[in-house]
């Protein structure tokens, strides 16, 4: 039995985080409590876009049967769920977390939520971005896999399904490595996994009709008590302005003077 | 039953023990050599005071244990040799770490913020039901850590409220521990993790190069979109070999297929902080700066005087790289 029988559903859960757009130069708040988010352009975390794209491709290959996009946070998270739905996700689940509590929501909470949802939805695979470009944590996939006791295939740049297993090529420090993981599994995407598609206007219109369920962490029995307290957020040190030099010869002699090169 | 006095005594004992931190460092290695980033993690671990224990898990551990036993600051080495640890899969290493934690009750568990550490540490933390702290760049006290967020555009100080602090360490933010002068004892450790039905290591396709490793090189020369194609990277390799430098790349160069992924420097690639970083044909997007702006001296070579890279460069040369780089190479021949 189990979720992987030939005629059973192969449901993919995809984590979708709403983050400040990657092209925005963030500003730290003067009171050092965080960065300015009001009135700043937000979008779907780029790594999660890659996760959605991969899930859609698995569906196009007739491997996945349903794609469920999940986002945790304040009401505006529904915008990123709509983006995921327009790219091809079938339905969405919004885990509502009010702003005050969202400020201290960590990957440990999100992964507990994803683990509970995976059980409820009988998911065969969870796929999330390798990191969110706001907190730069790179933890959620690994922790979700741990809570479920599923294998993890992180920093994936290629995914192939063979029988009940996945063959995943991972981006590691010295190059690439390939591992085999049993399904169900948790995956995290690296940049090179795919090129996410643009949502077309008709698909954006269709996405408006797709369903987004709302739940609260408490509905899933997940406690979101703070584990990590943010004491302060500051600007990084500013580098001294440099000098423009005339030519290659001058550059080499400056580097020699400074003792960098012989 | 218990008098006020004995309760106070037990509190004293608890507080007393609290002051004695003990840290576990997960050693990274290739079954022959200890990875350089582990030395940086050991320095970070030493900052907590108290004993530093290293866990060496792998198929072959003898030479790594020998190297580690001489590293300054390490007091004990736990050795777990087993076929199941092939490829350092998180499914087999995490249970091993958890069982060592159950036995020795460390206050801190630390690994380098490398691909291996990033893969393993959150799984360990979840098994202990604590929140890990990624890629720390500073330690204020035993529970307060500094790390960057938003691609290095903000620096945050956080307090970890969990009983066990589970951390990855940014190698470039801590000196490497000395590889001589230590005298750690080693003991076999038979923890869990020796069977893993969930995952299997298949193969690796690692880039080979005689040049120094990117994350620990004293000089890094990186190429970006301006290099135009992979063949032109030869210009950088030639100069790098003269200087004993490592060669990196921007995401644009990697995405265009000019060089392999593991050469990428940036928020989502490697973080480097060499003495000298030379950015060639790189515009300087936020995501690239995140990976190199802690370099001691930054040199930018770019024909566009408006390129943002010049805002962080100590020395800027507005020039065509195809002219400047061969000229520099020639000058270094003399």
List B187's β-bridge partners, or say none: B78
Q: Is residue A248 part of a domain?
A: no
Dihedral angle computed from the Cα positions of residues B4, B5, B11 and B13, in that order, rounded to the nearest 10 degrees: -160
List A233's β-bridge partners, or say none: B156
Question: Helix B233-243 to helix B321-333 angle, to the nearest 10 degrees?
Answer: 30
pLDDT tens-digit map of A8-25 = 799 999 999 999 999 999
* B147 vs A contacts (CB less than 8 Å): 136
Q: Under 8 Å CB-to-CB from A69, ≥6 apart: which residues?
A: A14, A16, A52, A81, A84, A85, A89, A91, A92, A93
Is B269 or A5 the better-scoring residue by pLDDT?
A: B269
Instruction: Decide if A175 and B89 are in contact by the 8 Å CB cutoff.
Output: no
Does A156 lie at the interface with B, CB-CB under 8 angstroms?
no
Q: Which whole number is the average pLDDT over A69-93?
A: 98
Please tell me the distance from the alpha carbon of residue A127 to that of residue A145, in angstroms, as a whole number: 10
Token pair of B16 as six digits: 């007393």
Does B90 lie at the interface with A, CB-CB under 8 angstroms?
yes
* Among A residues 11-40, those touching chain B with beta carbons less than 8 Å apart: 20, 22-23, 25-26, 28, 35
Q: How many Å is the maximal CA-CA distance in chain A?
A: 73
Nearest CA in chain A to B328: A248
Instruction: Decide if A236 and B198 are in contact by the 8 Å CB cutoff.
Output: no
* A160 vs B contacts (CB less than 8 Å): none
Please tell me the distance from the alpha carbon of residue B135 to that of residue B143, in angstroms, as a whole number: 15
Percent of chain B, pLDDT > 90? 90
Q: What ipTM was estimated for this complex?
A: 0.95
Q: Which whole number is the average pLDDT over A46-54?
A: 98
Q: Indicate the range of A133-142, B11-20, B101-110, B306-315 predicted with least confidence.
A: B11-20
pLDDT at A72 over 50: yes
Q: Which of A150, A179, A262 sits opposite B202 (nearest CB)?
A: A179
Does A111 lie at the interface with B, CB-CB under 8 angstroms?
yes
Q: Is residue A260 part of a domain?
A: no
CB contact at 8 A, A167 and A180:
yes
Does B259 lie at the interface with A, CB-CB under 8 angstroms?
no
Does B293 lie at the interface with A, CB-CB under 8 angstroms?
yes
B154-160 and B108-112 strand pairing: unpaired
Please tell me the distance from the alpha carbon of residue B52 to that of residue B33, in angstroms, as a whole number: 20
Which range marks the domain in which residue A176 is found?
11-235
Q: How far is A35 from chain B (nearest CA, A)?
A: 8
Q: Under 8 Å CB-to-CB from A123, ≥6 apart: which residues?
A: A3, A11, A12, A13, A68, A117, A184
Q: Which whole number is the average pLDDT over B132-158?
A: 97
Does B149 lie at the interface with A, CB-CB under 8 angstroms?
yes
Q: Report helix, strand or coil for B14.
A: helix
Q: How far is B57 from chain A (nearest CA, A)?
A: 18
Pairs of CB atoms within 8 A across A/B = 263
Q: Which of A228, A245, A260 sits opposite B158 (nearest CB)?
A: A228
B280 to A22, B80, B301: CA distances (angstroms): 23, 45, 5
* Among A residues 207-226, those touching chain B with beta carbons less than 8 Å apart: 226
Q: Indicate the pLDDT class of residue B8, thresholds 50, 70 and 90.
A: low
pLDDT of residue A74: 97
SS3 for chain A is CCCCCCCCCCEEEEECCEEECCCCCCCECCCCCCECCCCCCEEECHHHHHHHHHHHHHHHCCCCCEEEEEEEECCCHHHHHHHHHHHCCCEEEEEECCHHHHCCCCHHHHHHHHHHHHHHHCCCEEEEECCCCCCCCCCHHHHHHHHHCCCEEEEEEEEEEECCEEEEEEEECCEEEEEEEECCEEEEECHHHCCCCCCCHHHHHHHCCCCEEEECHHHHCCCCCCCEEEEEEECCCCCCCCEEECCHHHHHHHHHHCCCCC
CATH code for position A75? 3.40.50.620
Nearest CA in chain B to A233: B156
* A26 vs B contacts (CB less than 8 Å): 150, 153-154
Q: DSSP label at B305? A: T
Instruction: Decide if B260 and A175 are in contact by the 8 Å CB cutoff.
Output: yes
CB B305: neighbour CB atoms within 10 A?
9
Q: Indicate the pLDDT class of residue A2, thresholds 50, 70 and 90.
A: very low
Please tell me the distance from the alpha carbon of residue B237 to that of residue B244, in angstroms, as a whole number: 10
pLDDT of residue B3: 44
Number of structural domains found in chain A? 1
Cis peptide preceding A184, ω within 30 of 0? yes
Does A103 lie at the interface with B, CB-CB under 8 angstroms?
no
* A180 vs B contacts (CB less than 8 Å): 199-200, 202
Q: Which whole number is the average pLDDT over A147-171?
A: 96
CA neighbor of B309 nearest in space, from B332, B329, B331, B289: B289
Percent of chain B, pLDDT > 70? 94
Q: Report helix, strand or coil for B273.
A: coil
Q: Is residue A89 part of a domain?
A: yes
Q: Which of A136, A145, A179 sits opposite B87 (nearest CB)?
A: A179
Phi then psi for A10, rounded to 5 degrees?
Answer: -115, 95
pLDDT tens-digit map of B33-89 = 999 999 999 999 999 999 999 999 999 999 999 999 999 999 999 999 999 999 999
Q: Is residue A160 part of a domain?
A: yes
Q: Is residue A207 part of a domain?
A: yes
Question: The tokens 């690296």 sit on which residue?
Answer: A190
- List the domains of chain B with CATH numbers: 17-188 (3.40.50.620), 219-332 (3.40.50.1220)
Q: Which of B116, B122, B127 sits opposite A139 (nearest CB)?
A: B122
- Report how far Cα B5 is from the mean position of its chain's Cα atoms: 47
* A258 vs B contacts (CB less than 8 Å): 297
Q: Which of B118, B158, B317 sits opposite A230 (nearest CB)?
A: B158
Question: Torsion-angle region of residue A144: left (phi > 0), alpha (psi -120 to 50) or beta?
Answer: alpha
């Amino acid at each position: 039995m189990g979720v992987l029988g030939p005629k059973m559903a192969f449901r993919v859960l995809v984590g979708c985080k709403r983050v400040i757009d990657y092209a925005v130069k963030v500003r730290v708040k003067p009171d050092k409590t965080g960065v300015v988010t009001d009135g700043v352009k937000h979008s779907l975390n780029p790594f999660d876009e890659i996760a959605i794209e991969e899930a859609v491709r698995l569906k196009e290959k007739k491997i996945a049967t349903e794609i469920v996009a999940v986002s945790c946070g304040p009401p505006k998270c529904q915008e990123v769920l709509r983006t995921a739905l327009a790219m091809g996700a079938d339905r969405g689940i919004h885990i509502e977390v009010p702003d005050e509590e969202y400020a201290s929501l960590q990957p440990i909470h999100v992964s507990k939520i994803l683990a509970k949802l995976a059980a409820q939805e009988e998911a065969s695979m969870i796929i999330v971005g390798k990191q969110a470009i706001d907190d730069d944590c790179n933890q959620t996939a690994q922790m979700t896999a741990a809570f479920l006791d599923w294998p993890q295939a992180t920093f994936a740049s290629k995914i192939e399904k063979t029988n009940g297993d996945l063959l995943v090529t991972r981006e590691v420090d010295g190059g690439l490595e390939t591992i085999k993981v049993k399904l169900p599994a948790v995956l995290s995407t690296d940049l090179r996994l795919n090129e996410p598609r643009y949502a077309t206007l008709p698909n954006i219109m269709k996405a408006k009709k797709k369903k987004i369920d709302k739940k609260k962490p408490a509905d899933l029995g997940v406690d979101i008590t703070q584990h990590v307290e943010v004491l302060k957020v500051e600007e990084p040190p500013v580098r001294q302005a440099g000098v423009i030099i005339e030519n290659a010869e001058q550059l080499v002699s400056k580097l020699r003077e400074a003792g960098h090169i012989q | 039953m218990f008098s006020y006095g004995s309760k106070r005594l037990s509190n004293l004992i608890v507080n007393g023990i609290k002051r004695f931190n003990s840290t576990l460092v997960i050693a990274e290695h290739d079954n022959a050599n200890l990875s350089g980033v582990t030395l940086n993690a050991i320095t970070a671990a030493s900052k907590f005071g108290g004993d530093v224990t290293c866990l060496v898990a792998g198929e072959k551990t003898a030479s790594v244990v020998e190297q580690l036993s001489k590293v300054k600051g390490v007091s004990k080495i736990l050795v777990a040799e087993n076929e199941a640890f092939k490829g350092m899969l998180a499914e087999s290493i995490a249970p091993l770490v958890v069982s060592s934690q159950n036995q020795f009750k460390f206050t801190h568990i630390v690994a380098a913020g490398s691909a291996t550490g990033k893969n393993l540490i959150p799984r360990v933390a979840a098994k202990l039901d604590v929140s890990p702290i990624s890629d720390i760049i500073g330690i204020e006290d035993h529970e307060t850590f500094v790390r960057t967020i938003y691609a290095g555009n903000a620096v945050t100080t956080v307090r970890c409220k969990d009983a066990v602090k589970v951390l990855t360490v940014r190698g470039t933010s801590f000196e490497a521990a000395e590889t001589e002068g230590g005298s750690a004892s080693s003991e076999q450790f038979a923890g869990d993790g020796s069977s893993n039905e969930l995952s299997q290591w298949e193969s690796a396709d690692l880039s080979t190069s005689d040049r120094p490793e990117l994350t620990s090189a004293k000089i890094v020369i990186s190429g970006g979109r301006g290099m135009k194609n992979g063949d032109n990277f030869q210009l950088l390799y030639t100069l790098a070999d003269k200087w004993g430098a490592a060669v990196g790349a921007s995401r644009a160069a990697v995405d265009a297929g000019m060089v392999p992924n593991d050469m990428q420097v940036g928020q989502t690639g490697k973080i480097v902080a060499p003495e000298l970083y030379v950015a060639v044909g790189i515009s300087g997007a936020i995501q690239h700066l995140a990976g190199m702006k802690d370099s001691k001296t930054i040199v930018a070579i770019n024909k566009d005087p408006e390129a943002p890279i010049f805002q962080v460069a100590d020395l800027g040369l507005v020039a065509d790289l195809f002219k400047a780089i061969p000229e520099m190479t020639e000058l270094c021949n003399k």
